[in-house]
Structure 1
Amino acid sequence: MTRVLQVITGLERGGAERQLALLLRHLPVTCEVATLTRAGTLGAALQDEGIAVHEIGMRGNRDLAALPRLVRLIRQGRFDVVHTHLYRACVYGRVAARVAGTPRVIATEHSLGDGHLEGRRATRGVRALYRTTERLGNATVAVSPTVAARLRGWGVAPGRIVVIPNGIDAAAFAFDPGRRAETRRRLGIGPEEFVAGAVGRLVPTKRFDLLVEAVARLDARPGPAGQAPPGGVRLLLVGDGPERDALGRLARRLGVSGRVILAGGTDDVAGALSAMDVFAAPSVQETFGLGVLEALAAGLPVRYTTCPALDDLPPGEAPHARHVPADAGAWTTELALLADPGRGPVQRAPVPAAVARYAIAEQAERLARLYRDGTRRTGRPSTREYIPT
């Protein structure tokens, strides 16, 4: 049985971290996990499932003392493959794997934006270090053709890039009325209130400020006979990040702090989605758009600005998802239409074909084949052939 060490920067709540946890439950290989920093709640959950989790104890980006500790772990484990996730883990993990003599070194690029890497500006030095260490591996997995194109733009050789999309367990997000009621009670949301929601890291490129502005504009619209509209729209933002305080200040300045719920991170994304009536994703930069797929699996209507997971598919595969430009006025119009009391309660939709294309079991099997092969075939790559079919 192939033995794989998954190396990741940390195991706090986040899209890449949740994706790794999901993969670990479906990969047909034996895996252990090394986290450069703290294991956190997700690491504890993995250990409860019987997966060995090792903390390397890195104290910062330049803590070189972590490198020999990681090398020692790889050598002692005699792993067939080292698979790295996120920038810091990719840099240190590739070097450690080569020093330890690991025969196969794979990396997944989860968070490469246009000029940004994991929400931070990608400087010339960051790009140079990335290219240098990338050559130490056998292949780099891009989670979408969009990411593959960015990797090529950074100077990564096209023949070293494999597109294996993120995966989703659709059944885990199925709508549950009981979970909806419980989550709404916990968050202080009334059973009849209309809730627009989003899930993601609170960083500038997500543009959650547009949703706060849209809610404020809706709140200011006159109702019948010039009266304020009853109920209005609640905004539920699930996630944490550096923009949290700024979003709170914006809500207070616009007079809608009572309508905006900054719920923080959660291990129960399915419960949060159950509490929503529409999923709003105004992000202007995405590497994949897993939150959009999870919302579609929950039967929610979706409005989004950028989502490679949908944009890379043929039209019509997600009929309840609609593109909205990154403009507060456009988002106001969309939310007003969806929240119109004349439409009646929002009905949950069937899970669309787009979600089935990204089934986690299939993506895990593709990754396992890459582990066994070590490198993809040579020649001019065609990223399209790696899009789920």
Structure 2
Amino acid sequence: MSRFFFNDRKQLVNDAIEGMLISAPHGNLARLDIDPAIRVVVRADWDKSRVAVISGGGSGHEPAHAGFVGKGMLTAAVCGDLFASPSVEAVLSAIVAVTGDRGCLLIVKNYTGDRLNFGLAAEKAKRYGLKVEMVIVADDIALPDNKQPRGIAGTALVHKVAGYAAEQGKSLNEVRDMARQACDNLWSLGVAMQTCNLPGSDDEEGRIKKGHVELGLGIHGEPGASVVETQNSQAIIDTLVQPLLAQAGQGRLAILINNLGGVSALEMALLTKELAHSALKDQIAYLIGPAPLVSSLDMKGFSLSLLKLNAAFEQALNAPVETLGWQKPVVFAPLRTLTHTPLHDSVEFTPSANAQVAQHVAAVAERLIA
């Protein structure tokens, strides 16, 4: 059995959703009371007066997607089984539950199952008279010639931009266009030194050699694009930064530092330090994380996502939200230090010249030696 806490494998996702909802800090989340196989987390405070923003996909990427439901981000999240797209019926149930006259936007990661199921649900919803638009996120640059790049951690930034636009009362077309513009200015790349463990399956051994990392490993454990023969933090950051910088070019950037689930806080802090001294340092305006935002169960890896900023994106990223998983952006600045006088634990003294005391000390020392 894999190293994984669980009770009933078939109920694992349902149980996890319950735990997430009862611990939500704003108390603003609910689950649709419907077929247990349909797992839809919605805003409990939603009134359908604005454009709804819906996303989702396979579970195992927590806090995505339910952790981004709340004021200022997603209206609903549709949760599939582990690494499996939610059904058409589940997506359609979410659309019907939260969509009013203003319509809804679906934000979908670029995987075949998600595209098909969300797309079919959108077509069915349109037959019900609902206005539905869809945006596909394809931010992974691991394979430069790939005509269908995967959607990975940068999806969280699209959630934030679209959620802000919807919260401002913008029309469905305006929300869609802003989300598409974010997709067009978004690039992500990740590495891992160990893939993830799945509950109930045997541990995978030997795929990634010790001292090596896979570049471009997929968030479902798909093999990476290449192997890098180092664990050196500076070298790995440089390996990620070079292709990302080639895509982004010049301009101010917000950078999401995403923990894929199994990297310690100490290591993530170290990697953030390396990023702050990398070739991107003069272009970083905001850091988001380091934190798990779009994880891959317990994968020992991380990813970087770059969003090229404009005034609208900057406002969107910094707007407050009421969610479980979003991380507030931090304005990037060099390390601050405070000057402090060194402490000395030695005693400074001037030797005395007392012949009588010297004679006594010498006599005691001689007796002890004898």
Which TM-score band (shorter chain)?
0.3 to 0.5
Structure having the higher helix fraction is: 1
Structure having the higher strand fraction is: 2
TM-score by length of 1: 0.32
